[in-house]
Amino acid sequence: TEKREATMSSRNPERKQRLVGQDSHLSRIFLLLLFVVSAQGVTPNPEACLVSSSVNGSSISCQPPAQIPHSLPADTIFLAVEFFNLTQLPADFLQGVPNLQELHLSSNRLEDLSPKFLLPVPQLKVLDLTRNSLTRLPPGLFRISAALCTLVLKGNQLKFLEASWLHGLKALRHLDLSENNLHSLPPGLLENFPDLLTLDLSNNYLQTLPPDLLRGPLNLERLHLEGNRLRVLGEGLLAPQPKLRYLFLNDNRLASVAAGAFRGLQKLDMLDLSNNLLTTVPTGLWTSLGKAARNLKDGFDISSNPWICDQNLADLYRWLVANKDKMFFRNHTRCSGPEALKGQRLLAVAESH
């Protein structure tokens, strides 16, 4: 049980599974292995970047105290320039590397990017801008980035977004906007991203979401909304995504969930509603969950909510008993009232009801 609970928990980032940027991290691990096992193309000089060559092209990784090269091999396909505290990059920084596929600029202090920054790299597939100081993106930045499939903007200082900033992205599959200062989202943000699989909006300051947020993607699989300030989960928000598999709503301020909020989610493998303000839920909320053979196969978490264990939870009681083998953190899922049941495990109350 503890092993499965560790898989379920999304409050600890190190224990939560994420797909955003996963391909890029695997690529970087692979490259580091290449550096270790192959002496060819590796420069031991600490002031030089690590360089690896293959039949596909050159891969370059630069971290301090290495010096950032003034020019790059024309066949460069992977470039990482990280931990340099750079506030600016020249507009022509990527000039001469038309085949670049992955660009990692994490852990700098970039404040803005030139609208022309990506023009020299039309084949770019992964752009990682994690932990910079970006407050906005220049319109037109992605106008020839039709191949880009992973965009990571985690840990920047974005307070708002404009849908126009993302125009030009046609193959986007993973979008990470977590750990910014977002208080709201514009309508139509995802309408041009039919291939989007993962959306991460966790750890922002969102109190509400536009009703059309999920209209556009056709096969969304993972939705991270944890760590915001959401108070209500409405009827139609999730309706456009019947193939959704992982839904993280934990660590919000949810006090109300509409009866039809999960209707149509026939493939949901994991649901996290923990650490909210739920005292009760409407009859019928769970109707579509836990029935199919694979439904909620990775479990659900409704712990750390102030549940009022009265007759209004009768529908939840029945559902819990039928799906108790998929329930995580049972000892942390307890009644806050009425007084006679305060502190008792919710599942025990359900089984005795």
DSSP assignment string, 112-178: ---TTTTTT-TT--EEE--S---S---TTTTTT-TT--EEE-TTS------GGGGTT--S--EEE--
Burial of 215 (C-beta count, 10 Å sphere; 0-12/13-18/19+): middle
- Asked if pLDDT for residue 275 goes beyond 80, the answer is yes
Task: Please give the average per-residue pLDDT across 191-210, as a whole number.
Answer: 97
- Asked if pLDDT for residue 15 goes beyond 80, the answer is no
Does the 220-353 domain belong in CATH 3.80.10.10? yes
Residue 89, both tokens: 């990059």
- Percentage of the chain lying above the pLDDT 90 cut: 80
| 20-181 and 220-353 agree in CATH topology | yes
Q: Specify whether the CB–CB gap between 316 and 350 falls below 8 A.
A: yes
Model's pTM, two decimal places? 0.88
Confidence of residue 248 (pLDDT cuts 50, 70, 90): very high
Q: What is the pLDDT of residues 166-194, one digit of tens each?
A: 999 999 999 999 999 999 999 999 999 99
Confidence of residue 229 (pLDDT cuts 50, 70, 90): very high
Peptide linkage before 65 cis (omega within 30 of 0): yes
Confidence of residue 259 (pLDDT cuts 50, 70, 90): very high
* Residue-level pLDDT at 148: 98
- Asked if pLDDT for residue 310 goes beyond 60, the answer is yes
Closest by CA to 31, choosing from 55, 57, 61, 56, is: 61
Question: SS3 sequence, 185-247?
Answer: CCCCCCCCCCCCCEEECCCCCCCCCCCCCCCCCCCCCEEECCCCCCCEECCCCCCCCCCCCEE
Average pLDDT score over the chain: 89
Distance separating alpha carbons of residues 189 and 329, to the nearest angstrom: 35
* Residue-level pLDDT at 264: 83
Distance separating alpha carbons of residues 321 and 351, to the nearest angstrom: 6
Q: What is the pLDDT of residues 81-131, one digit of tens each?
A: 999 999 999 889 999 999 999 999 999 999 999 999 999 999 999 999 999
* Residue-level pLDDT at 126: 98
Among 4-18, 214-228, 270-284, which is the least confidently predicted range?
4-18
Task: Please give the average per-residue pLDDT across 279-299, as a whole number.
Answer: 84
Task: Please give the average per-residue pLDDT across 327-352, as a whole number.
Answer: 97
Q: What is the pLDDT of residues 19-66, one digit of tens each?
A: 444 555 545 544 444 444 444 444 457 678 999 999 999 999 999 999
Q: Specify whether the CB–CB gap between 233 and 250 falls below 8 A.
A: no
User: For domain 20-181, which CATH number applies: 3.50.50.100, 3.90.1170.30, 2.60.40.10, 3.80.10.10?
Assistant: 3.80.10.10
Task: Please give the average per-residue pLDDT across 266-287, as a whole number.
Answer: 94
* Residue-level pLDDT at 312: 95
- Asked if pLDDT for residue 5 goes beyond 70, the answer is no
* Residue-level pLDDT at 44: 56
CB under 8 Å to 22, separation ≥6 — which residues?
A: 174
Where are the chain's structural domains? 20-181, 220-353
- Percentage of the chain lying above the pLDDT 70 cut: 86
Q: What is the pLDDT of residues 130-163, one digit of tens each?
A: 999 999 999 999 999 999 999 999 999 999 999 9
